[in-house]
Amino acid sequence: MENHSIQVKGLQKSYKNLHVVKGVDFEVEKGSIFALLGSNGAGKTTIVRILSTLLKPDSGSASVNSYDVVSDPENVRGSISLTGQFAAVDEILTGRENLIMIARLHHLKQPRQVADDLLQRFGLSEAADRRASTYSGGMRRRLDIAMSLIGKPEIIFLDEPTTGLDPEARIEVWKIVNELADSGTTVFLTTQYLEEAEQLADKIAILHEGRIIASGTLQELKKLFPPAKVEYVEKQPSLEEIFLTIINKKEEKAI
Amino acid sequence: MSTHFFSDMGVMVGRSMRHISRSLDTIITVTITPIALLLLFVYVFGGAIKTGADNYVNYLMPGILLIAIASGISYTAYRLFLDKSKGIFERFHSMPIARSTVLWGHVLTSLVSNALSVVIIILVALIMGFRSSAGVLSWLAVAGILVLFTLALTWIAAIAGLSAKSVDGVSAFSYPLIFLPFISSAFVPTKSMPSVVRAFAENQPVTSIVESIRALLANQPVGNEIWIALAWCAGIMLVAYFFAMKVYKARV
């Protein structure tokens, strides 16, 4: 059995004259969290779209769960799920209906039960019968990820899962991602936030202008830089820490 | 994969039906303009229009229904645009399902919602004195023409919805379609028009469709007109389908 969930070799893709992905190689180990880090326009989404069979590469090869994305897209689609950049939920349907719809499309035996379990797990039970259009950004993203978990995919693609979320919702998503990896799912995640890659990823690849310029574990990447100097600096709380502390205090009081 | 076509289609149809039942306001919006035109032409302009028919509501009916469908399909384009821009297509396409069902779900939504608007308008017209001596077969033929017309326009809407960059762009395409019945025999006989306009009016698709439906509803022989009407509908549908699929494959 292969120990790699995703293998990419010499991947290239252009849109007309725009060369977006210029020869990318990487491998993702089973059950790990892999972060593709890069700024906007680096080519992250293009790579995700190729790996999830939405787009064909110009050259190079890519296999997902040891199925080739070009010659065997059906089996790739059966192994993965994609959570795109925008929460792809049907806003006219309720949260529950969204989940049931996806469960039916996976031909599961008890779509209602699957939906109920996920609503419970993602803290959406109370909002289950409200239309998704009334959900907050964080709730929408949670529903979106819940929809992606239906059918127990072996590999999950999360394309910038926390872009546009507030700090609390971001931490919730991080928790979900960690739980997924703990349960053996391979997580392929793209992000433009350094902190996110640092917090979550077992392995990080830095994509810049269509090429991977560095990759490895956080420790390995740190070694690329001169050894850290020891300086004593008073630890100031970051605004995020302050914000979260205040919010938590409020919630405690409310309870 | 094809073994799941029908169950996947069932899910997409279920989704469509919920969309329709939860956005009945869109159906009301679609019916308002045709009903207003109906009132305006019957009670304001109608008295001065000499059609040769004794009941002007009957004369007007086919054109009004076509206008309703032409404005109804702008919502089809809108729904497609939303699914494309919100990533719903991407989600479905990265799943192991029969991909074609995603688009056909929209086509079906279009057919059902337009059928609802047509029924509402016919009910209003009945109150205003619309009467038909047509039998079941003729009504079925009328329904068939309207379904074909809706399909033809739906695929045009698909091109617009899938290739539009903004919401405004999505709805703009339907204005010329709504306007086309005015330059046809839908409101007045073409005889009164100047020769150039008349030549256009008599040879554009709406006139043949209107004339066929009018003849069917009045229980008159339809003659060759119905074949011209069907040819127009089928032709537009095939061409639009071809281009819509091209856009669909390129954009989605």
pLDDT tens readout for residues A201-219: 999 998 888 888 888 888 8
Question: At A2, is the pLDDT very low, low, confident or very high (cuts 50, 70, 90)?
Answer: low
Q: Which of A143-152, A235-244, B189-198 has the lowest mean pLDDT?
A: A235-244
The average pLDDT across A22-42 equals: 89
Position A233 scores a pLDDT of 74
pLDDT of A78 higher than 80 = yes
Chain A residues within an 8 Å CB radius of B94: 52-54, 77, 80-82, 157
What are the φ and ψ backbone dihedral angles of A29, each rounded to 5 degrees? -75, 150
**Residue of chain B with shortest Cα separation from A104:** B11
Position B1 scores a pLDDT of 46
**Residue of chain B with shortest Cα separation from A90:** B88
* B2–chain A Cβ distance below 8 A for any pair: no
Across the interface, do A92 and B22 touch by the CB < 8 Å criterion?
yes
Who contacts A93 (Cβ-Cβ below 8 Å, separation ≥6)?
A: A101, A131, A132, B15, B18
pLDDT of A255 higher than 70 = no
pLDDT in tens, B7-54: 899 899 899 889 888 888 888 888 998 999 999 988 888 778 777 777
Per DSSP, what are the bridge partners of residue A208? A211
Chain B residues within an 8 Å CB radius of A106: 95-96
Higher pLDDT, A42 or A189: A189
Chain A residues within an 8 Å CB radius of B19: 92
Closest C-alpha among B160, B177, B178 to residue B78: B160
Across the interface, do A82 and B90 touch by the CB < 8 Å criterion?
yes
pLDDT of B251 higher than 80 = no
Chain B residues within an 8 Å CB radius of A85: 87
Across the interface, do A84 and B18 touch by the CB < 8 Å criterion?
no
pLDDT of A45 higher than 80 = yes
* B97–chain A Cβ distance below 8 A for any pair: yes
Position A130 scores a pLDDT of 94
In this prediction the ipTM stands at 0.81
- Residue A75 C-alpha, separation from nearest chain B C-alpha, in angstroms: 8
The average pLDDT across A37-61 equals: 89
> How far apart are the C-alpha atoms of A103 and B84, rounded to whole Å?
21
The average pLDDT across B65-85 equals: 91
Q: How far is CA B227 from the centre of its chain?
A: 18
Provide the edge-to-edge strand list for the sheet that holds A67-68: A18-29, A4-15, A59-64, A67-68
pLDDT of B168 higher than 50 = yes
The average pLDDT across A217-228 equals: 77
Position B70 scores a pLDDT of 92
The average pLDDT across B42-70 equals: 85
Chain B residues within an 8 Å CB radius of A91: 86
Position A185 scores a pLDDT of 92
Position A1 scores a pLDDT of 45
The average pLDDT across B169-178 equals: 83
Amino acid occupying residue B111: L
pLDDT of A98 higher than 60 = yes
Residues 160-189 of B with CB under 8 A from A: none
Position A222 scores a pLDDT of 79
pLDDT in tens, A157-192: 999 988 888 888 888 889 989 988 898 899 999 998
- Mean pLDDT, chain A, rounded, equals 87
Q: Which of A157-166, A233-242, B19-28, B107-116 has the lowest mean pLDDT?
A: A233-242
Of B88, B90, B96, the CB nearest to A54: B90
- Mean pLDDT, chain B, rounded, equals 88
Question: At B231, is the pLDDT very low, low, confident or very high (cuts 50, 70, 90)?
Answer: very high
- Residue A236 C-alpha, separation from nearest chain B C-alpha, in angstroms: 40
Who contacts A84 (Cβ-Cβ below 8 Å, separation ≥6)?
A: A159, B87, B90, B91
Position A252 scores a pLDDT of 67
**Residue of chain B with shortest Cα separation from A144:** B91
Chain B residues within an 8 Å CB radius of A101: 11, 14-15
Optimal mutation site among A50, A80, A92, interface B, most CBs of chain B within 10 A: A92
CA angle B96/B99/A44 to nearest 5° reads 70
Of B7, B18, B87, the CB nearest to A84: B87
Q: Where are the domains of chain B?
A: 5-251
Chain A residues within an 8 Å CB radius of B86: 86, 88, 91
**Residue of chain A with shortest Cα separation from B14:** A101
Position B252 scores a pLDDT of 63
pLDDT of B3 higher than 80 = no
Interface of A with B (CB under 8 A): 49, 52-54, 74, 77-78, 80-82, 84-88, 90-93, 97, 101-102, 104-107, 131, 147, 151, 157
pLDDT of A254 higher than 80 = no
Closest C-alpha among A46, A50, A30 to residue A38: A46
Position B167 scores a pLDDT of 83
Question: At A132, is the pLDDT very low, low, confident or very high (cuts 50, 70, 90)?
Answer: very high
Do A3 and A23 contact (CB within 8 A), yes or no?
Answer: no
Provide the edge-to-edge strand list for the sheet that holds A80-83: A80-83, A155-159, A186-191, A33-37, A203-208, A211-216
Across the interface, do B15 and A81 touch by the CB < 8 Å criterion?
no
The average pLDDT across A94-103 equals: 94
Segments in chain A forming alpha helices (H)? 44-51, 73-79, 95-105, 111-121, 137-149, 167-182, 194-200, 218-223, 239-254
Closest C-alpha among A184, A186, A189, A185 to residue A173: A189
pLDDT in tens, B20-29: 888 888 888 8
Share of chain B above pLDDT 70, in %: 98
pTM of the predicted model as reported, rounded to 2 decimal places: 0.82
pLDDT of B66 higher than 90 = yes
- Residue B1 C-alpha, separation from nearest chain A C-alpha, in angstroms: 8
* B23–chain A Cβ distance below 8 A for any pair: yes
